Chains A and B, each alone.
Chain A
Amino acid sequence: MLDHWHDGYSGMSTILKIDNLRVEYRRRELGQPINVAVNGINLAVETGEVFGFLGPNGAGKTTTMNVLLGFVNPTSGSCALFGVDTRQPIARQRIGFLPELTYYYKFLSAEEILRFYAKIFRIPAGEVESRISEVLKLVELDNVRKRPIKSYSKGMQQRVGLAQALINKPDLLILDEPTSGLDPVGRMKVREIIQRLKEEGKTVFFSSHELGEVETVCDRVGIMCAGQLKEQGAVADLRQRYQCDLERVFLKVIGYQPAHG
């Protein structure tokens, strides 16, 4: 059944596929124009790839991810994860997702929230505690694991988000601005985590505004602007094609004109 899903070359298979996706937001008030957040994008991410999803504010990155997770319904087009339409919850068993603005149940502590999510993933009881300790150590929240989340700083909450995204040892990670709100060490850490996951053969699809970091960890990037995917390709290819670094490529693609010369 999944045969058509394999592209045939070099054993690679598509893990995330977006087909002609269009998302419109209709305003409640009459007479308001329809807001097209995503305008017909096509995208495929292969197993084992680290894909950087770039674009200026309001480009439609978060909206695309929300469709991938089934939070927002596409106006037309479709998305599939592991070959399963994203509207089916089973598509999410092997996924770790970090939402853009991370909020968790404030009255729970980090370990309680992870225990809750572990239960939902049906992680065997004997493994739960060691798994929780492992991810909490990874995001360096081990020493505050019993404190309620409402007492955490913004960066610490972001780390909780990362921990919950990793609790089920996902094959595909979808991270919406994983480094936002983190200190330089925290960012470095996230970069290391992404790199390690890649070495383990996991697939990472993440959005970011930190082009330096994208350049170091990504295999491929896609650049969105005003709801359209303007450019995509391997980082090295893009650099060669445009004869400049990723930041310049980005600015060129989104059509930014420098003020001075």
Chain B
Amino acid sequence: MNNALAISTIVIKELSRRKDFYVLFIMTAIITLLMGSVNFFNLQGISKYLKEICLLLIWISSLAIALATTARQIPAERENRTIFPLLAKPVTRWEVVVGKFLGCWFACGLALGLFYLFFGALALTREGQFQLGGVFQAWWLHWSMLAIVVAMTLLGSVVFAAPSSNVTIVFLGVASILLLGRYLHKIAVSMTEPGQTLLSICYFAMPHLEFFDVRDTLIHEWSVPWWACGVASLYACCYTLFFLVATWVVFRRQALN
């Protein structure tokens, strides 16, 4: 764990020094502008609509950040040959995988925290109320979902040769789960065999990222029960672990040159 943490701090150092976090400031600026214009329009219902756009932007940019930072981690280590002095130390490849994961996931969590903080703060100034619990839940669930995405991307980065193809494939996968995931079972039922079985297997095996999408509850100021948050975290934990172990299994015996 010591080694994995050391590796993760290097990941975060790199991200901060490569100025990747500038994207964040642009994003927060956009959110600020959007939320700031709520009063300007001063129309019934427009505030909910703007919140929705804000949250959609947060979702898209968080996925972009997670994919962009994770996909190049291991390929860049190999390309720049920095993996050689690293693995010449008493470091296992499992520790490298976990370290990379932790670094990227922490970085995503920070970025996400910033987004939600702005979102919450602006909701407060514009609407005069702030649901701390709701925003925190949304952040936590979103971050748990990103753990699965980061682990998936890590697996992709040791399977596919080019980071760009990895990003494309993982993005398509994540987007289709988010958009179609919940309907897949219904589609399956209406199909004939063997399509039905295949689609059902898909439905039960895939990580249901859409479970973590609580944008509607946040907009309508409903709330998610805390036990459901706990179950969702556990669910995310299982899939993350599965993808990390899969990454290690592929990476473990890979020749590095």
Query: Which positions in A face B, CB cutoff 8 Å?
Result: 66, 69-73, 89-90, 92-93, 95, 97, 99, 101-108, 112, 116-117, 119-122, 161, 164, 168
In-complex Cβ contact of B84 among A71, A73, A116 (8 A): A71
B247 to chain A, nearest CB (A): 17
Among residues of B, the one whose C-beta sits closest to the C-beta of A66 is B257
Q: How many residues of B sit at the interface, in one of the four size bands?
A: 20 to 34
| B90, A72: Cβ atoms closer than 8 Å | no
Contacts of B6 in A (CB 8 A): 116, 119-120
Give chain B's interface residues, CB within 8 Å of chain A.
2-3, 6, 9-10, 13-14, 17-18, 80-82, 84-85, 87-92, 253, 255-257
- Chain A residues with Cβ under 8 A from B88's Cβ? 69, 92, 95, 97, 99
Tell me whether B89 and A92 are in contact (CB under 8 A): yes
Most buried by A among B17, B84, B257: B84
CB contacts (< 8 Å) of B256 on chain A: these are 66, 71-72
For the complex, give the distance between the alpha carbons of A106 and B81 in Å.
11
Taking CB as reference atom, which chain B residue is nearest A167? B89
Contact B2 A99 (CB under 8 A): no
Q: Is the interface of B mostly helix, strand, loop or mixed?
A: loop
CB distance from A102 to the nearest CB of B (A): 8
Residue of A nearest to B254 (CB): A73
On chain B, the residues within 8 Å of A93 by CB distance are 90
CA A95 to CA B85, docked complex, whole Å? 11
CB distance from B95 to the nearest CB of A (A): 9
| Contact present for B18 and A107 (CB under 8 Å) | yes
Asked if residues A92 and B90 are in contact (CB atoms below 8 Å), the reply is yes
Q: Please provide the 10 A-B residue pairs with the shortest distance between their CB atoms, ordered closest to farther.
A: A97-B88, A99-B84, A107-B17, A71-B256, A119-B6, A93-B90, A103-B81, A120-B89, A92-B90, A72-B255
By a CB distance below 8 angstroms, the chain A residues around B17 are: 107
Instruction: For B6, give the chain A residue with the smallest CB separation.
Output: A119
- A162–B38 alpha-carbon span in the complex (Å): 60
* Complex Cα–Cα for A99 and B80 (A): 12
Q: Residue of B at shortest CB range from A95?
A: B88
- Is the beta-carbon distance between A71 and B89 smaller than 8 angstroms? no
CA distance A97 to B89 in the complex (A): 8
Given known contacts A72-B255, A107-B18, A108-B10, A120 and B81 CB-to-CB distance under 8 angstroms: no
